[in-house]
Structure formats: structure tokens, C-alpha cells
Amino acid sequence: MNKRKSYFRTFSVLIEEYSIELFIFEALVLVLAFHSLTSIKYMALAIPLAIFVSEAMKLVIKENRPPTAMERSYFKRSGSRLKIRSFPSTHSSVAMAFAAAFYYTPAFIPLFVFAVVIMYSRVYIKSHYLRDVLAGGMIGLLIGYSVTFLL
């Protein structure tokens, strides 16, 4: 495996294990850069809503993750039944909701690109199927855009 693939795999696994910390860091950087209380309000509404919808769908649909995902220690040590559920991807949902919360700012394009990288990373390390990340991305995009548009 070449170094670039190895770095991306490490990045992908880190996103899996430290997603909350990553999004908090990303939010802090954006708040410091834009000083926009409006965008903070959009994030505060869109992200929990995206998490709620994604996790609720996981409870209803109950699709298991790819077998290779369940071999990693992150999933083995998890006591939560939701962690073994795959559809839709909450990482993708939150990443897209985060980007869409900044739809009307210059930060939207880099956040959207970063969300796509996160979505790709979920499939790359086989934590999700492609349909999981596409569904999660659409959920997040719709929720995030709806929140910004309605408010």
C-alpha cells in the first residue's frame, strides 16, 4: 500500500473514532473565521436534527454494516446496537448538514468538499455501503438547507 493510501486510511479511521471532536474543531474554526451567530444557530438546529433522523432511521431499517467494518476494534468494543447499523450514514448526514448550514457563506464550498471526502472515507474503509453514505448525505443536505432556507 503506498503512503497516500495509508494516510487516507488513517484519516478515515480517525474520522470514525473521533467524529464529534472533528466537527467541534471545524465549528470552532468557522465561528472564529466568520463571527456569524446566524450560522451557529443554523448548525445548532441542523446537526442534532440530522443525527436524530439518521439514528431513528437506523432503528427502523436495521441494516447491518459490511462484515469488514465489524472486524475493527471500534465496533467490537462498542456496546451500542446502533453502532452495528449501517443505513443511513450518520457521519455523512452530519457532514452535509454542517456544510448546508453555511450555504449562504463563502465557507460552503470547502465544507461541501470536506463532506464529500468524509462520505468517500466511509466507503473507502468499508464502514458503510455506497447507498448508506448517499442517503445520509441527502438527509443532511435536505435538513441543513431546509433549516437555512426556513430561518
What are the grid coordinates assigned to 99, written together? Answer: 456544510
What are the grid coordinates assigned to 65, written together? Answer: 454494516
DSSP character at residue 53: H
pLDDT, position 76: 53
What does the alpha-carbon distance between residue 57 and residue 54 come to, in Å, rounded to a whole number?
Answer: 5
pLDDT, position 4: 61
What does the alpha-carbon distance between residue 72 and residue 126 come to, in Å, rounded to a whole number?
Answer: 10
Tally of CB atoms within 10 A around 3:
7
What does the alpha-carbon distance between residue 148 and residue 151 come to, in Å, rounded to a whole number?
Answer: 5
What does the alpha-carbon distance between residue 12 and residue 33 come to, in Å, rounded to a whole number?
Answer: 26
pLDDT, position 124: 85
- pTM exceeds 0.75: yes
Per-residue pLDDT of the chain (151 residues; tens, 9 = 90+): 566 667 777 777 777 777 777 777 777 776 666 666 777 777 788 888 998 999 899 889 888 887 776 666 555 555 555 567 788 888 899 989 988 888 887 888 988 998 998 898 888 888 888 999 999 999 999 998 898 888 7
